[in-house]
A and B are shown apart, each in its own frame.
Chain A
Amino acid sequence: MTNKRDQLILGIETSCDETAVAIIKNGREIIANVVASQIESHKRFGGVVPEIASRHHVEQITIVLEEALRQGQLKMEDIDAIAVTEGPGLVGALLIGVNAAKALAFAHEKPLVNVHHIAGHIYANRLVNEMEFPLLALVVSGGHTELVYMKEHGHFEVIGETRDDAAGEAYDKVARVLNLPYPGGPHIDRLAHEGTPDLDLPRAWLEPGSYDFSFSGLKSAVINTVHNAEQRGETIAPETLAASFQESVIDVLVTKAIQAAEEYKVKQVLLAGGVAANKGLRTALTTKFQKHEGIELVIPPLSLCTDNAAMIAAAGSVLYEKGQRADLMLNGNPGLDITIHNNWG
């Protein structure tokens, strides 16, 4: 049931290889959540092909929109605002969601709210647990590895980010070395649980006090280890390699998250992004944060970790209240900075 004073936000997300539309009530309740995944198509190429992603988005966009309204038993007139991912992401893919959102906003004279994709990932948590500030979000995905500090709703401060590969990228590259099918992350996670981390792989702590990340050295070390073993006529069990690699990644992520959580005296730590689906990371964070009284760890369910539009609508809900608006000139922005959302007083 929805009554007239409920706020209903329709969210659209097309930044990579999921065409997604969702409707969220009052920022926290999922009324509809539809995701058309293209993963089967991109599997043929071992990764997301931008042109093919854009083509699939055009094929899917109105179908997914209609399905979301059908699930929610709603009409466009019932919607208060349209939230859409402006960036970052693949530019050609972003353009489909942005232009569909603008057409809808124009046709029904609805406000348009532009949302940063990572803000969306963070706000996926609000569909599970109310946020308590200040908080720290650990965002880990195929394209991102960031620590984002939030002192209040709609205000984002990046205190650490990757200087080279994102964690998810490192997973995909190591998966390729192990000849695992795309996407490699879940396969490495599974293998890691079957093996023991016996290999000594590097951890890039960077300079003291830095919350930045670097995974390219680790990736190279994995490739070299495999290569050297081959030259000696040996093979390393994939389980061992996966376990050692995963331990190295998780060690750095968890340690930096805890240090930052302590320094910034946060009440909550949120895990966000596709790699949040990683069991090893979830377990390690849960174990470590159990020892920290006063810091609540929030991990969204798997379905909200990967790209979806519920998270975009959830972020859009708060940003709409804060007065964030886009006009019909809105464009897809592949390099968008999350601090676009900090512009009010």
Chain B
Amino acid sequence: MKILSIDTSNYALGIGLLDENQVLGEYISNIKKNHSVRVMPAIQTMMNECGVKPADLTKIVVAKGPGSYTGVRIGVTIAKTLAWTLNIPLTGVSSLEVLAASAGRHFNGFICPLFDARRGQIYTGLYRFKDGRLVTEKDDQLVLTADWAPALSTLSEPILFVGNDVSIHQSVITDALGDRAVFAEITEHNPRPAELALLGRDRIEEDPHSFVPNYIRLAEAEAKWLDAQKTK
């Protein structure tokens, strides 16, 4: 078994290679540089170093969003093309779920991964580990932090906030949740590509032809067009 995982959905670029019982390799960078130029060379370098050929791969797992529309499309395009042409299974995993798993595996409470979505908004969801398995408590969504944080205040357990953009929203979160808000350490904010591979390892495969990113949002023009149809 050799699983290749790809995450280009946000600033962090992650490539992972998972064998039966061990992580063969992980590449992570967290810089504002073009994913399109860097992903394939990163995959090639890591696979070369690990002595794994494309034909050896048994599965592709990709972070399917939410995140940057262009970024997530790059990873998804590469993942579905590889899976289709190598005739191996493809699985998509929520980009937020990967982040939750990366930081919260041993956290006793809820985990709230987030990516900044500008104008006070975040892409977020709510997760927790139960018996070693990650469970979704609230689905991935786009929401104002000012609405999201107070909504979490009914929860009686601590909540771990994780993601490189947490600092942008930290004060709003602390105002609403006080001590119950726990913030991950900077070393935990990058989604781990090996966690991505592990999350996708046993999940059902998806058809590469119909596989698309989870954008959460419609394209702006599409949303306006739909609104216009309703008022007709």
Contact = CB atoms under 8 A, between A and B. Distances in A.
Question: Do the two chains belong together in a single complex?
Answer: yes
A52 B221 contact: yes
B209 A62 contact: yes
Contact of A107 (B37, B54, B212): B54
Interface stretch (B80-88, B102-110, B197-205): B80-88
Given A58-B213, A62-B80, A103-B82, A52 B222 contact: yes
Contacts, number: 100
Contacts of A62: 80-81, 84, 208-209
Contacts of B148: none
Contacts of A330: 37
A329 interface: yes
Contact of A331 (B34, B44, B82): B34
B221 A49 contact: yes
Q: Which of B39, B41, B73, B220 has the most CB of A within 10 A?
A: B73
B73 A54 contact: yes
B31 interface: no
B27 interface: no
Contacts of B39: 99
B85 A45 contact: no
Interface residues of A, number: 34
Nearest to B84: A62
Contacts of B213: 58
A98 B225 CA distance: 30
Interface in B218-232: 219-222, 225
Given A51-B220, A99-B77, A65 B40 contact: no
B98 to A, nearest CB: 20
B36 A66 contact: no
B36 A51 contact: no
Contacts of A98: 36
Contacts of B38: 329
B221 A100 contact: no
A63 B212 CA distance: 13
A100 B212 CA distance: 14
B225 A103 contact: no
B85 A332 contact: no
B54 to A, nearest CB: 5
Nearest to A54: B73
Interface of B: 34, 36-41, 43-44, 54, 69-70, 73-74, 76-78, 80-82, 84-86, 208-210, 212-213, 215, 219-222, 225
Interface of A: 44-45, 49, 51-52, 54-55, 58-59, 61-63, 65-66, 76, 92, 95-96, 98-100, 102-104, 106-109, 327-332
6 contacts: A99-B77, A100-B77, A103-B78, A106-B40, A106-B82, A328-B40
